[in-house]
Amino acid sequence: MTELTPQSIDDLRDAVAGALATGTRLELRGGGTKALIGAPRDATILDMRGLAGVIDYDPAELVLTVGAGTPLAEIEALVAGEGQMLAFEPWDHGRLHGAAPAATIGGVVAAGVAGPRRVTAGSARDHLLGFKAVSGRGEIFVAGAKVVKNVTGYDLPKLAAGSWGRLFAMAELTLKVLPRPRVEATLAIAGLEPGQATTAMAAALGSNAEVSATAHLPAGTMQGAPLTLFRVTGFAPSVEARCAQLPKILAAHGAVQRLAEHEGAALWDAVRHVAPLDAPTLWRIHLPPSRAASFVAPLAAQGARWMMDWGGGLVWLGWNGPADTVRAAAEAAGGQAMLVRAPAAIWATTPAQHPRQPGVMAIEHRVRLAFDPAGLFETGRFLDLTNAD
C-alpha cells in the first residue's frame, strides 16, 4: 500500500494537492490504532506522524499547541509534568485490537475519543480550541484560536472532533489543558442489579458530592459480584469530605466501601480501555443513562457481555449477534450504536457509525463536500457514500 509521509504542513498541502490532481483517495492515519475500525478500503495512506512535536505550551494559559502526529503518550507525559491533564481522558485504542499503544493526538481528537471523565468534563470536542489544517481543496486554513474563550466565526473545531479525517487533514491542534487533580479516590458499591446501578450513579452525579466519573461492571466482569464505581478527585480536604458525604447520599442504594488507591486506579484503567470485554465484536452505545439498564437486559439474556461508563450514558457491549438487533435496541432507547471491533466479514457490510436520519445525513454530506468537494478523503470506510436524498 502506498504511503505518503509529510514532514511539514507544506508537505501536507503538496500531498493533498497531488492527490487532487491525480484523483487519489487518501486515508489519514496517525498511529493506526483505529485502522481496523470501518470497512476494508484501498486508499493511499497519509501518515501524519511526521507532523509531530510541541509547538507552544504555556501551562498558566491552559493552552497547548501540538503537531497532529504527536503521540498521545508523549503529550500526556508532558502535561503531567506540569501538573496538568487532557481532561477528556483520551485513551489508546491499540489495546482494543491487540496492538501496542501508538495513538496520536490528531487521531484521538478526530475520532472523538474520551474516557470516564467525559461525563463531567466533556469530550475531545469540548477541549479542541483551534487547528490548522489542509482541506480537500489543497488549501491551508485555520479555525478557532489559541485562547480558551472564543466565539469568533463558526466553531469548526467542533466539526473536526469526531470527523474521522473526512473533512480535512489537521496539521496542528490547540487544546485546552486543565489542572490534574492532586488526589483520586474510588468508592464502590457491590452487588447492584443494572437498574439499581444506574439509579445509584444518577444519584451520585446529581448530588453536590461532585464525582468525576462513575461506572458499573456487572457480575462476572471483575471479581464475581457486580461493582458500581464512583471516582472522587480534587484537593485532599475536598476529596476526604466528599468521600465521607457520598456513603450518606448513596445509603439507600447500598453499602459504600472505599477501595485502595492502586485497586481503584487499576479498575478505572480497565474501564477506560474496555479491558473486561474480549468478544470479537464490540459495540459502543451512547444513550440516555436512564435507558441503559433496560437496553442491556434483553441482550444480556441472549449472552451479550456488557459494562457501563458515564453513569450509564455509555454501554460497551460485547456480542456477536446481529448488528440490526443492536442498532434497533439502541435506537429504541434513544441512543446510537457504534461498531468498534468486529471480524472482517461484518465490517464489509456493517457501517461503523450508527446511521442518522436522512435529513441529517444529507447535511453531513453537504458539509463534507464543502471541505472536500472532490471526495479525496472518502475511502468508503463508513459505507455511507450514497446520496441521502
CB of 87 to another protein, least distance (A): 10
| Cell numbers at 133, concatenated | 489544517
Task: Return the residue of 45, 78, 147, 300 that touches another protein, per CB under 8 A.
Answer: 147
305 binds another protein, rule: CB under 8 A = no
Per CB under 8 A, contacts with another protein among 52-91 are 58-63, 83
x/- letters, 157..186, toward another protein (CB under 8 A): xxx-xxx---x----------xxx-x----
d(CA 228, CA 325): 27
Task: Tell me the helix, strand and coil percentages in the chain, rounded to 5.
Answer: 35, 25, 40
Question: Could you tell me the smallest distance in angstroms from the CB atom of residue 384 to another protein?
Answer: 9
Binding region for another protein (CB under 8 A) out of 32-40, 149-157, 213-221, 261-269: 149-157
C-beta of 68 vs 222, nearer to another protein: 68
Q: For the segment 17-56, give every residue that binds another protein (CB under 8 A).
A: 20-25
- Nearest residue (CB) to another protein, 222 versus 232: 232
- DSSP H helical ranges for 84-132: 105-110, 118-121, 124-127
324 binds another protein (CB under 8 A): no
Distance CA 125, CA 137 (A): 24
Binding residue (CB under 8 A) for another protein from 235, 269, 278, 322: 235
Residue found under cell 450508527: 354
Could you write out the DSSP letters of every residue in 314-378?
Answer: EEEEE--S-HHHHHHHHHHTT-EEEEEE--HHHHHHS-SSPPPPHHHHHHHHHHHHHH-TT-TT-
Burial 198-236 (b: 16+ CB within 10 A, else e): bbbbbbbbeeebbbbbbbbbbeebbeeebbbbbbbbbee
Q: Choose among 174, 181, 303, 196: nearest CA to 255.
A: 196
Q: Which residue is associated with the grid cell 481496523?
A: 36
- In the set 11, 14, 74, 126, which binds another protein (CB under 8 A)? 126
Residue of 33, 44, 196, 199 that binds another protein (CB under 8 A)? 199
- In 3-state terms, what secondary structure has residue 218? coil
Tell me, by CB under 8 A, how many residues bind another protein: 106
Among 94, 101, 254, 375, binds another protein (CB under 8 A): 375
Tell me if 14 contacts another protein by CB under 8 A.
no
Contact with another protein (CB under 8 A) among 94, 184, 245, 273: 245
Q: How many residues comprise the chain?
A: 389
Least spacing, CB of residue 174 vs another protein, in Å: 11
- According to the binding rule CB under 8 A, does residue 326 interact with another protein? no
Q: How far is the CB of 282 from another protein (least distance, A)?
A: 16
When asked if residue 248 is in the footprint of another protein (CB under 8 A), the reply is no
| Cell, residue 230 | 464512583
Does the footprint of another protein cover residue 257 (CB under 8 A)? no
CB of 20 to another protein, least distance (A): 7
